[in-house]
Structure 1
Amino acid sequence: MDQTIRIRPFAPADRQGVLDVILPIQREEFGIDITAEDQPDLLGIAAFYQTGRGDFWVAEHDGAVVGTIGLKDIGESKEAKPQAALRKMFVAAPYRGRQHGVALRLLDHLLMEAQSRGVAEIFLGTTAKFLAAHRFYEKNGFSEIARRALPASFPVMAVDTKFYLRRFAG
């Protein structure tokens, strides 16, 4: 695993680096016709993610953003279980795979932080096209759920067709 990669909270100076990682993956790799303006969460990361139990982290290598992951606080269930949404998990192509371990480190960091912040359930939505992502989430404790099982507060994106849930014991 590449020890020169650091996971840290998003800072406003990271905005362009975040866009430079996410937009090409969405547009070029997955053919999703989307802009930064179509994603208000990316234009206001601090206000959207860094509130309540939420946060947004970047993976950094030599001063450049090479990966992103967000935890959006979506409130509590009827049973007063704090819930969150995992959003915007992207890793630049050259940093994918076990050699760098960026995706796993981002997810591990998010899970550790979520648990320490008292989050009981993490939901996520993805597209049917992200096959490697499906395997990755399933391997890391997420179970597929039906769209109707999502809490009303979950921010479903237009491209989301597959949904997952990870619960913490306790």
Structure 2
Amino acid sequence: MNNQPVVTKYSKEYQSQVVDLILHIQQTEYKIPITKEDQPDLFIIEDFYQTGNGNFWVAIYNDKVVGTISLLDIGNNEVALRKMFVDKDFRGAKYKTAKLLLNAAINWAQEHSIKTVYLGTTPQFLAAHKFYEKNGFKNIKNEELPDNFPILQVDKKFYKYSLT
């Protein structure tokens, strides 16, 4: 039996699990005052993320969504990495869920001639900062973001990954 989650392209059947996972991590684990109403993109994933050079993936373990990641097409062969969340029990070296998700997104970006992946994150996600830096993302100032990068209210720390 495979000990690791399987990363697959998002489909509607996963929507409620995706919303539940993301909200639990945001609200319960990190005490971020954000609601599902603040994130309408979670209810239109196909139309919001899975267009152009964008996509959305889920990590599945025993029929349960244990992780998410997306790339939002922002034009100019650039994407914004969004909605990277991993269930607390599936973080770290045992399952490698975050690495599996990131690899799926980076491979997709390479296959679709993406030049740069940008991301914004919150100061609380310290382990995420280390993870991104360990995987080749460079910390940048928000002034270095492209004009078309959608900055979220909670985003205070920004990264860039160059594929060229």
Task: Report the TM-score, using the length of structure 1 for normalisation.
Answer: 0.94
Alignment partner, residue 104 of structure 2: 109
Q: Deviations over 1:61-107 (max 9, x none)?
A: 1111000000000001xxxxx10000000000111110000000000
Counterpart check, 1:90 vs 2:82: no
Aligned counterparts, 1:131-170, within 5 A: 131-169=126-164
Q: Deviations over 1:6-55 (max 9, x none)?
A: 10000011100101110010001111111111011111111110000100
Alignment partner, residue 72 of structure 2: 72
CA distance in 2 between partners of 1:36 and 1:101 (Å): 27
Q: 3-state SS of the aligned residue for 2:27?
A: helix
Task: Report the TM-score, using the length of structure 2 for normalisation.
Answer: 0.97
The alignment covers a number of residue pairs equal to 163
Counterpart check, 1:49 vs 2:49: yes
Two-structure CA RMSD over aligned residues (Å) = 0.9
Q: 3-state SS of the aligned residue for 2:38?
A: coil
Verify the 8 A CA contact 2:4 2:95 in the aligned structure 1.
no
Alignment partner, residue 79 of structure 1: none
CA shift for structure 1 position 114: 0.6
Q: 3-state SS of the aligned residue for 1:31?
A: coil
Verify the 8 A CA contact 2:54 2:79 in the aligned structure 1.
yes
Alignment partner, residue 39 of structure 1: 39
Alignment partner, residue 19 of structure 2: 19
Verify the 8 A CA contact 1:53 1:114 in the aligned structure 2.
yes
Q: Percent identity?
A: 47
CA shift for structure 1 position 4: 4.4
Alignment partner, residue 100 of structure 1: 95
CA distance in 2 between partners of 1:43 and 1:139 (Å): 32
Q: Deviations over 1:108-130 (max 9, x none)?
A: 11101111011000000001111
- Which stretch of the first structure deviates more once superposed, 118-127 or 37-46? 37-46
Q: Which amino acid aligns with 2:122?
A: T
Unmatched 5+ residue regions in structure 2?
none
Verify the 8 A CA contact 1:142 1:166 in the aligned structure 2.
yes
Verify the 8 A CA contact 1:37 1:43 in the aligned structure 2.
no
